[in-house]
Chain A
Amino acid sequence: MPKIYEVEPVTRLEGHGGLILKVSDDGKKVLDAQFNVTTTRFFEKFVEGRFMEHVPRITPRICGICPIPHHIAPTKAVEDAWNVKIPPAAFKVRELLLQAKQYSSHLLHFYALAAPDFIYGPFADPAKRNVVSILKDLPAEGKMALEMMEYGQALCAAIGGKSVHPIVSIPGGLKNPFSEEHRDFFLKDWERQVEYTKKTVEIALKVVTDYWDVVANVGVVPTWYLGVAKEDGTHDIHDGMLSICNPEGKIKRYKPQKYLEVIGEHVTSHNYGTHTFIKEVGYPEGVYQTGPLGMINVAERMNTPLADAALKEMRDKIGTNPIHNVFAFHWARIIETVAAIENIGNLLKDPDIVSTDIKTMDVEPIAGRGVGMVEAPRGTLIYDLTSDEKGICRKANLLVATNHNLGGIDKLVTHVAKQIIEQDALKSIKLPDPWVK
C-alpha cells in the first residue's frame, strides 16, 4: 500500500488547494504528487444570459488579488466581439490600472506570501513564519512594504473606483476619466516608490544570494512557458501576442484569437482546475508554466530601462535562457515590479492620462465572438465570449492563471518530492541562517 501524505490546506495562497503526495510502502520512492484545486464556482456557465457589458463587472470576482486583469480582459473580449475601438487615452488609463495592480500584487506576493519562508527559514514555527511576524520583527521593511502596496492599491482605487472589484472599464473605454488631482497626488509620491522598489530589489538579491543553493538546485525542471509579449518580443502585460516558449527557448507568437490552436485543457479526476497544455506537444509533455517566469522566458526584453537591466543581470547570473529554476519566479516577479513602477511613472507623466476623451459613443452589440487577453500577476488570462445580436452573453470560455500553472506545478512538486525523498537533498542543501531567529 502506498503511503499518502496530505497537506490541507495549502496556505499563503490565493485560492483553495490541497497537496497529495503518494510514496511507495517502503517510503523510498515517490509515486505521484498532486496539487489539487478543491472547489470551482462556474463563472463560465453563469455569465451566460448576462449582458455582455456586465461580464467585466462580474468576473473580477474570480480573483480578489487580481480583479483588475479580470476586469480588463473581458472588456477587451466584448470589444473584440462587437468590433469596438477605444480612444487612445482610455487604453493608456487601462494600462496604468493594470500596472498599478501588477505593482501592489507582486509586492503582496513577495512580502506577505513568499518572504516569510526566506526571512524565518522554511522550517520555522508556523506561528512565526508569516507576514504578521515580519511586521513586528522588521518594522522598517514591513512599513515600507505596506506603503508600496498601499500606493498600488490606492492608485487602482483612484482609477478603478474600487481597488478590489473595479468598475471603471466598459466596452468603448472608461466610465470615468483619471483626474488631474489624482495624477498629481500619485506623481508626487512616485520617486519615493522608485527608491522603495530599488530597496526591494536589494532585498530580493540578498535572498537570491543567501539561498543560491536552493535557487540553483531545487526544482530546476524544464517545461514549456506561456505568457504575453509584443510581436517584437517586448514584455507587455496589456495588449500583446499569446507567446509560448519551448524548454530549449524557441519562442512562437500567436494572435490571442488563435488560442484554441495553441492550447487545450486536460480534465483529471482529482482536480477542479483543468490542466492546460501545448497542443502540438500533447499531455503531459506539453504542460507549461505561466506568471512572472513565463513572462520573462517568452520576452526578449523589458520595455523600461531599469527592468531591462535587471533582466539581463538575472540571465547572466543563472546562465540559461529560458530559466527553469522555480525559485527564480520571485526574482522574475521583482523584475516585473521594477517594470511596473517605471511604467507607472511614464504613464503618469503622459499628458493623455488625464484626457476626458475616454469613451467612444460608437458601441452597438452585434452577434459575434471575441477574445480578450491580458497578463495577470500570476499568469495569462484568456476570455472567449460569444454575444448574440442583443448583446447577451451566450457562451463563455475562460482560461485563467491557475489552469495554465497546474500541470507545471504537479511536475515541479513531483520533482522536488523526489529530490527530497529519493535523493535526500535536504541533507546536502545549504540553507543560510535565518534573518530573524
Chain B
Amino acid sequence: MAKLTFAFMQLSSCWGCHQSLLNAHLKLYALIPEFDIVYWPAVVDFKLKSLEDRSDGSVDVGFIEGAARTEKDKEMVYLIRNKCKIVVAFGACANHGSVIGLANLYKKEELLKRKFVDAESVVESDVKGKWPNDVPEILDRLYTVPQLIDVEVKLPGCPPTTDNIVAAVIYVITLLSKKPNAVKAEKNVCIQCALNKSGCFLDSGELCFGPVTAGGCSLMCPESGEGPCVGCFQATSKPEGKRAGQLLDLIASKESLSKEDTITVQKFIELYLGLANFDFMYFAGDVLQKLAEHPETFEEKTIKTKKGQQKVLAFTGTGTAIIDDTISLLLMKLKGSKHFKFSQASVCSTCERSVVDKTYTEIKRDYEGLPDKKKCFLEEGYVCLGPVTKAGCGTICPNKANAPCLGCYGPPEQIKDQGAKMLSTYASLGPDPKTLMDKILDPAGLFNRFTLAASTLGGHVEDTKEEEK
C-alpha cells in the first residue's frame, strides 16, 4: 500500500503545536516512516504552488495549525479542505481561537491603530496614520477553523500535549490504513460458543453480540461466565445467520433501552468500531460523538425486522448488510434512550488536589501568596477553569506546576460556552455577587481566554441602537 500523505498548514499562529509534535523527539523515528510529507513549511521546502497543483482530495490528512486572521489564512483553510480527505483542526487557535481570539474584543481599526500608529516606539511610517496595505488583509474578526469548514478531527490544547498528538496521529494512520472490513475473520463467536446449543443469552432476551463478532478470541466471555459478548474482536465477515437475525429482532423488540442496555450498547459500539474514545479529541468518525452532538446529520432509512418496518439511523462500513443494519438500529435506539449520555470528563476529574465542600468563599489574584499544593484552587480562592475544561492534557498545570487551569483545551463537548459555564459555576458555588463583581474584573480574559472566538458572543458586539440614534 502506498504511504499516507500528510500536509501541515500554518495559519496565524505561534508554531507551538509543531514544537509540541517535534517534542516527540526519539519517537519521531517510529512515526515519520509511516507517512510522506507533501507540505510542511516549518520543516520542508515545498512551496505553496506544489500543494495547489495537487488534485482535490488527493492528500490523506491535512493538519491546520492557527486561526484565520487574514484573508490569506481563509484561503489556506479552503485550500486544505479541498486537497485533503481528513482535516485535523490542530491546537487551540484552530479549534477555539486561543488567546489571539481575545482580539475579537476590539474593532479591527482599533487593533491596527494601536500597533501601527499609536505604539510608543512608532516614529516613522510610509503609510502615515494608517497601516500596511500591500499585505493580506486583516479580517474583521478572527475565525476558528470549524467556523469556516467542516473538520473530521479536533485536537485542542495550547499546545496539544506531545502524547496527545502522537496518539492522534497513530489513530488516524490506523484508521486510514485499514481497508473496510479489514478484520477478515471467517469465523464468529457463536461457532465457538458452547452456549450456542443451549443456554444462549439471546434466547433469554439478553443482548449478546457474539453473532456479529469475529471468532478466534481466547477469552470467550459467554462461556467463561463473564457474561454476553461485547464485540471487542470487532466485525466478522460471516455473521452467524440465525443468531444475527435473532439479535436484530431482540433489539427491535425493545421499546426503549434500559440503563443497563444503554451502557452495554455504547460499550459495544465503541469496542466494535474501534472508536478511540479519547477525551481530548473529537473525531467525526466517532458515531457516538456524532449522535450526541449532531444527531440531525444522520440519514434515516428503513429496515425489516420481525417487529415490522423500523426506522433507523443509516450506518455503513462493516461490509456486511446485517451488521450495518444492526448498528443502524442500535443508533436509533440509543438516540431514543434517555440514558444515552456522551459526556467528556473535565480537568477536575483528573486532578489530584483534594476537594472539601465545593464552596468558593473568596477570590484571590494569582500574585497573592502561593497556593497550597494539595488544596483545590477554587476552594483556596484562585480562579481555576478545571470544572469547564476538557480533560486529556495530563492535568499538568494544577498537579505539576502549582498553577490553576487556564482552560486551554476548551470545554468538554457537552458544554457549549466555557466562559458562560464558568460564570454559572461561580454563581451557584461562589462568593456573594459583590465580591465576584469586585474581583472578576476581566471575565472575558479569565473565563474565555482560549475560547472567546468560538464563544456565544464571539467578541466585540456593536451597539446598533446607539448607531441608529
**A interface residues, Cβ below 8 angstroms from B:** 7-16, 36, 38-46, 48-51, 53-54, 57-58, 61-65, 67, 108, 112, 126-127, 129-132, 135, 143, 146-147, 149-150, 153, 160-165, 167-168, 170-172, 175-176, 259-260, 263-272, 274, 276, 279, 283, 359, 361, 363, 365, 384, 390-392, 397, 399
Docked-complex contact B441 and A51, CB < 8 angstroms: yes
Question: A271 with B110: in contact, given A39-B69, A63-B15, A168-B403 (CB under 8 Å)?
Answer: no
Instruction: Please report the C-alpha to C-alpha distance between residue A99 and residue B281 in the assembled complex, in whole angstroms.
Output: 34
Docked-complex contact B402 and A267, CB < 8 angstroms: no
Interfacial chain B residues near A266, Cβ < 8 Å: 123-126
Interfacial chain A residues near B110, Cβ < 8 Å: 45
B341-383 residues with Cβ-Cβ distance < 8 A to A are 365-371
Instruction: Please report the C-alpha to C-alpha distance between residue A150 and residue B133 in the assembled complex, in whole angstroms.
Output: 42
A382 to chain B, nearest CB (A): 9
Interfacial chain B residues near A397, Cβ < 8 Å: 119-121
Instruction: Please report the C-alpha to C-alpha distance between residue A8 and residue B135 in the assembled complex, in whole angstroms.
Output: 13
Docked-complex contact A129 and B45, CB < 8 angstroms: yes
- B23-63 to A contact mask, C-beta < 8 Å, 1/0: 10110110010000100011111111100000000000000
Interfacial chain B residues near A49, Cβ < 8 Å: 105, 442, 444-445
Instruction: Please report the C-alpha to C-alpha distance between residue A42 and residue B109 in the assembled complex, in whole angstroms.
Output: 11
- B131 contacts A by Cβ under 8 Å: yes
Interfacial chain A residues near B116, Cβ < 8 Å: 267, 274
Interfacial chain A residues near B78, Cβ < 8 Å: none
Docked-complex contact B41 and A64, CB < 8 angstroms: no
Docked-complex contact A64 and B18, CB < 8 angstroms: yes
Docked-complex contact B365 and A161, CB < 8 angstroms: no
**B interface residues, Cβ below 8 angstroms from A:** 10-20, 22-23, 25-26, 28-29, 32, 37, 41-49, 69-70, 72-73, 98-100, 102-103, 105-106, 110-111, 114-116, 119-127, 131-136, 138, 158-159, 365-371, 396-397, 400-403, 406, 408, 441-442, 444-446, 449
A272 to chain B, nearest CB (A): 6
Per CB-CB distance, the 8 closest pairs between chain A and chain B, nearest first, are A64-B16, A161-B401, A126-B45, A264-B123, A64-B15, A267-B125, A46-B102, A64-B14
Question: A260 with B15: in contact, given A39-B69, A39-B136, A266-B125 (CB under 8 Å)?
Answer: no
Docked-complex contact A54 and B158, CB < 8 angstroms: no
Docked-complex contact B122 and A269, CB < 8 angstroms: no
Question: A44 with B401: in contact, given A127-B44, A130-B45 (CB under 8 Å)?
Answer: no
Q: Which of B19, B28, B123 has the most CB of A within 10 A?
A: B19
Q: Which residue in B11, B14, B37, B132 is a CB contact (below 8 Å) of A272? A: B132
Closest residue of B by beta carbon distance from A390: B441
Instruction: Please report the C-alpha to C-alpha distance between residue A163 and residue B370 in the assembled complex, in whole angstroms.
Output: 22
Listed by A's residue number, 11 A-B pairs whose Cβ atoms lie within 8 Å are A11-B46, A13-B42, A38-B70, A41-B100, A44-B119, A45-B115, A49-B105, A50-B102, A51-B442, A163-B19, A165-B159
Interfacial chain B residues near A64, Cβ < 8 Å: 13-20, 159
Question: A39 with B72: in contact, given A135-B29, A165-B16 (CB under 8 Å)?
Answer: yes
Q: Which of A11, A131, A150 has the most CB of B within 10 A?
A: A11
Closest residue of B by beta carbon distance from A39: B12
Closest residue of A by beta carbon distance from B122: A265
B214 to chain A, nearest CB (A): 37
Closest residue of A by beta carbon distance from B100: A41
Instruction: Please report the C-alpha to C-alpha distance between residue A263 and residue B121 in the assembled complex, in whole angstroms.
Output: 7
B30 to chain A, nearest CB (A): 11
Docked-complex contact A175 and B126, CB < 8 angstroms: no
Q: Which residue in A11, A126, A164, A270 is a CB contact (below 8 Å) of B135? A: A270
Interfacial chain A residues near B134, Cβ < 8 Å: 269-270
Question: A53 with B365: in contact, given A13-B41, A62-B14, A108-B22 (CB under 8 Å)?
Answer: yes
Other than A65-B19, A164-B16, give 6 A-B pairs with Cβ distance below 8 A: A39-B11, A53-B367, A64-B15, A175-B370, A265-B123, A272-B132
Docked-complex contact A172 and B367, CB < 8 angstroms: yes
Question: A267 with B41: in contact, given A38-B70, A54-B366, A260-B120 (CB under 8 Å)?
Answer: no
Interfacial chain B residues near A359, Cβ < 8 Å: 370
Interfacial chain A residues near B106, Cβ < 8 Å: 42, 45-46
A380 to chain B, nearest CB (A): 13
Interfacial chain B residues near A365, Cβ < 8 Å: 367
Instruction: Please report the C-alpha to C-alpha distance between residue A397 and residue B42 in the assembled complex, in whole angstroms.
Output: 28
B254 to chain A, nearest CB (A): 48
Closest residue of B by beta carbon distance from A266: B124
Docked-complex contact A36 and B131, CB < 8 angstroms: no
Instruction: Please report the C-alpha to C-alpha distance between residue A50 and residue B365 in the assembled complex, in whole angstroms.
Output: 12
Interfacial chain B residues near A41, Cβ < 8 Å: 12, 69, 100, 103
A285 to chain B, nearest CB (A): 13
Question: A175 with B402: in contact, given A9-B41, A38-B70, A153-B23 (CB under 8 Å)?
Answer: yes
Instruction: Please report the C-alpha to C-alpha distance between residue A175 and residue B370 in the assembled complex, in whole angstroms.
Output: 7
Interfacial chain A residues near B44, Cβ < 8 Å: 11-12, 126-127, 130, 132
Q: Which residue in A131, A176, A272 is a CB contact (below 8 Å) of B401? A: A176
Interfacial chain A residues near B444, Cβ < 8 Å: 49
Instruction: Please report the C-alpha to C-alpha distance between residue A58 and residue B305 in the assembled complex, in whole angstroms.
Output: 58
Interfacial chain A residues near B400, Cβ < 8 Å: 161, 176
Docked-complex contact A268 and B367, CB < 8 angstroms: no
Instruction: Please report the C-alpha to C-alpha distance between residue A67 and residue B159 in the assembled complex, in whole angstroms.
Output: 11
Docked-complex contact A112 and B119, CB < 8 angstroms: no
Closest residue of A by beta carbon distance from B127: A269
B325 to chain A, nearest CB (A): 45
Interfacial chain A residues near B11, Cβ < 8 Å: 39
Docked-complex contact A267 and B127, CB < 8 angstroms: yes
A100 to chain B, nearest CB (A): 13
Closest residue of B by beta carbon distance from A263: B121
Instruction: Please report the C-alpha to C-alpha distance between residue A162 and residue B164 in the assembled complex, in whole angstroms.
Output: 14
Docked-complex contact B371 and A175, CB < 8 angstroms: yes
A402 to chain B, nearest CB (A): 12
Q: Which residue in A44, A65, A363 is a CB contact (below 8 Å) of B368? A: A363
B367 to chain A, nearest CB (A): 4
Docked-complex contact A132 and B37, CB < 8 angstroms: yes
Instruction: Please report the C-alpha to C-alpha distance between residue A166 and residue B208 in the assembled complex, in whole angstroms.
Output: 49
Instruction: Please report the C-alpha to C-alpha distance between residue A54 and residue B366 in the assembled complex, in whole angstroms.
Output: 8
B97 to chain A, nearest CB (A): 11
Docked-complex contact B368 and A39, CB < 8 angstroms: no
B363 to chain A, nearest CB (A): 12
B21 to chain A, nearest CB (A): 10
Docked-complex contact A161 and B396, CB < 8 angstroms: yes
Docked-complex contact A50 and B445, CB < 8 angstroms: yes
Interfacial chain A residues near B16, Cβ < 8 Å: 61, 63-65, 67, 164-165
Docked-complex contact B32 and A44, CB < 8 angstroms: no
Instruction: Please report the C-alpha to C-alpha distance between residue A53 and residue B401 in the assembled complex, in whole angstroms.
Output: 16
Interfacial chain B residues near A108, Cβ < 8 Å: 22
Docked-complex contact A264 and B124, CB < 8 angstroms: yes
Instruction: Please report the C-alpha to C-alpha distance between residue A265 and residue B72 in the assembled complex, in whole angstroms.
Output: 25
Instruction: Please report the C-alpha to C-alpha distance between residue A44 and residue B371 in the assembled complex, in whole angstroms.
Output: 30
Interfacial chain A residues near B441, Cβ < 8 Å: 51, 390, 392
A65 to chain B, nearest CB (A): 6
Instruction: Please report the C-alpha to C-alpha distance between residue A126 and residue B126 in the assembled complex, in whole angstroms.
Output: 37
Interfacial chain B residues near A54, Cβ < 8 Å: 366, 445-446
Interfacial chain A residues near B43, Cβ < 8 Å: 11-12, 112, 130-132
